């Protein structure tokens, strides 16, 4: 089985953003491969994923599931009031395509709001997409922030 065409890969990325914006985190997590990773490197696009690094977030499926459980727990004080996020994406573009893997580049603006506070982040996503049991999955979602390395306030959700 081969990867879908470029339009379907772009639709997959747009669907992922819609799930995040709607707070449908379990459905979002289900998009990740069994060994999938969500990574927000501290040095942005310059960071090599094979090298030791510091990161705003570096989470496998287990850590993502734990974060989702915390976000949905009624006792999570950091979610009183609840955070809301909105992604504004440019058109996703396939940068690399191999037999069973593709790299998709997507510039974004992200706004996260909680109560009266609002945080805006800009950057680009790099999705490494693969086929797993015939379904398209996220092997790596890399979030490269324009101001990577800056001291940022607490990011509650998923830019």
Q: Say if residue 153's pLDDT is above 90.
A: no
Alpha-carbon gap, residue 61 to 141, rounded angstroms: 12
Q: Say if residue 122's pLDDT is above 70.
A: yes
Task: Establish if 97 belongs to a structural domain.
Answer: yes
Q: How many CB atoms lie within 10 A of CB 114?
A: 18
pLDDT at position 132 is: 94
Question: Quick one: pLDDT band at residue 73, thresholds 50, 70, 90?
Answer: confident
Task: Establish if 40 belongs to a structural domain.
Answer: yes
Task: Establish if 159 belongs to a structural domain.
Answer: no
Give residue 94's domain range.
Answer: 6-46+55-73+82-145
In the chain, the N- to C-terminal Cα span, in Å, equals 31
How many structural domains are present in the chain? 1
Give me the mean pLDDT over the 146-154 stretch. Answer: 86
Task: Establish if 152 belongs to a structural domain.
Answer: no
pLDDT at position 45 is: 63
Alpha-carbon gap, residue 125 to 41, rounded angstroms: 11
Question: pTM for the complete prediction?
Answer: 0.90
Task: Establish if 154 belongs to a structural domain.
Answer: no
Q: Which domain CATH number covers 101?
A: 3.10.450.50
pLDDT at position 89 is: 98
Peptide bond preceding 81 in cis form (omega within 30 of 0) = yes
Give me the mean pLDDT over the 91-97 stretch. Answer: 97
Q: Which residues contact 113 (CB under 8 A, 6 or more apart)?
A: 83, 84, 85, 119
Provide the token pair at 157: 């959700």
């Amino acid at each position: 089985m081969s990867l879908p065409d470029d339009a379907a890969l772009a639709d997959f990325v747009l669907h992922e953003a819609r799930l995040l914006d709607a707070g449908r985190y379990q459905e979002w997590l289900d998009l990740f491969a069994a060994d999938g990773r969500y990574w927000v490197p501290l040095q942005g696009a310059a960071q090599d994923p094979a090298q030791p690094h510091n990161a705003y977030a570096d989470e496998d499926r287990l850590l993502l599931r734990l974060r989702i459980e915390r976000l949905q727990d009624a006792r999570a004080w950091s979610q009183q009031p609840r955070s809301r996020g909105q992604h504004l994406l440019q058109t996703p573009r396939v940068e690399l395509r191999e037999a069973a893997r593709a790299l998709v580049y997507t510039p974004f603006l992200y706004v996260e709001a909680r109560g009266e506070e609002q945080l805006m982040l800009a950057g680009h996503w790099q999705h490494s997409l693969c086929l797993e049991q015939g379904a398209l999955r996220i092997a790596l979602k890399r979030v490269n922030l324009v101001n990577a390395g800056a001291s940022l306030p607490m990011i509650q959700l998923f830019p």
